[in-house]
């Protein structure tokens, strides 16, 4: 049954562990709810979707994703330190958090909080995993056809999905 294979417009539920090149666990669904996503919607990095295309429920799969198919190569001048006072009024900030800011050219730019110390916050325009080869271990739990609404919205509805 083709519906049961991962591909475009399929809702995939899986457990995953993500390690960096040093073998350190960066992220994992182990011990919590599995991840559910709409395949082909761009929710996941391209190399992740590519490697899982054609897989079925019950299959385990380990694969590596190069930066170009993951979070991209590192770009720009690298992390920048800014006075903590610049973050007043935007609530609690923590390392790893993404913020939308206005760049020098007036366009919005996403920056990640790389470090926080007493007086300064280090921000980086690179995703924390930019430049990293991503090592995934995945266990596919379920694959189903997306509903027309889910396809139109570009995300999953229902348990563990998007709630309106
Ligand atoms: Zn929706």
Residue 149 lies in a domain: yes
152 C-alpha to ligand 1 centroid (Å)? 8
* Residue 108 domain boundaries: 80-124
Q: Are residues 52 and 85 in the same domain?
A: no
Residue 25 lies in a domain: yes
Tell me the CATH number at 120.
Answer: 2.40.10.330
Tell me the CATH number at 136.
Answer: 3.10.50.40
151 C-alpha to ligand 1 centroid (Å)? 9
155 C-alpha to ligand 1 centroid (Å)? 6
Q: How far is CA 105 from CA 101, 102, 109, 112, 160, in A?
A: 11, 8, 10, 18, 38
150 C-alpha to ligand 1 centroid (Å)? 6
37 C-alpha to ligand 1 centroid (Å)? 12
Residue with tokens 């916050």: 121
What domain count does the chain have?
Answer: 2
What confidence tens digit (pLDDT) does each residue in 76-89 have? 888 999 999 888 88
Residue 23 lies in a domain: yes
23 C-alpha to ligand 1 centroid (Å)? 36
State pTM to two decimals: 0.83
Q: Are residues 65 and 98 in the same domain?
A: no
The pLDDT of residue 138 is 98
Strand, coil or helix: what is 148? helix
Whether 1 shows a pLDDT value over 60: the answer reads: no
Residue 63 lies in a domain: yes
Q: Are residues 14 and 67 in the same domain?
A: yes
Where are the extended beta strands (E) located within 66-119?
Answer: 80-83, 98-102, 108-116
- Exposure of 95 in the CB half-sphere (CA atoms within 13 A): 8
Q: Mean pLDDT over all residues of the chain?
A: 92
pLDDT exceeding 90 applies to what percent of the chain? 77
């Amino acid at each position: 049954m083709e519906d049961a294979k991962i591909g475009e417009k399929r809702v995939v539920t899986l457990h995953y562990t993500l390690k960096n090149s040093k073998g350190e666990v960066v992220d994992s669904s182990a011990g919590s709810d599995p991840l559910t996503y709409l395949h082909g919607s761009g929710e996941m990095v391209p190399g992740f979707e590519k490697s899982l295309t054609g897989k079925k429920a019950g299959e385990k799969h380990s694969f590596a994703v190069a930066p170009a198919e993951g979070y991209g190569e590192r770009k720009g001048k690298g992390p920048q330190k800014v006075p903590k006072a610049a973050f007043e009024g935007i609530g609690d900030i923590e390392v790893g958090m993404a913020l939308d800011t206005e760049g020098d050219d007036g366009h919005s730019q996403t920056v990640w909080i790389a470090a926080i110390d007493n007086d300064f916050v280090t921000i980086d325009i690179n995703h924390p995993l930019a430049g990293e080869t991503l090592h995934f271990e995945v266990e596919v739990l379920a694959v189903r056809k997306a509903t027309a609404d889910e396809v139109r919205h570009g995300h999953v509805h229902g348990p563990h999905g998007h709630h309106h």
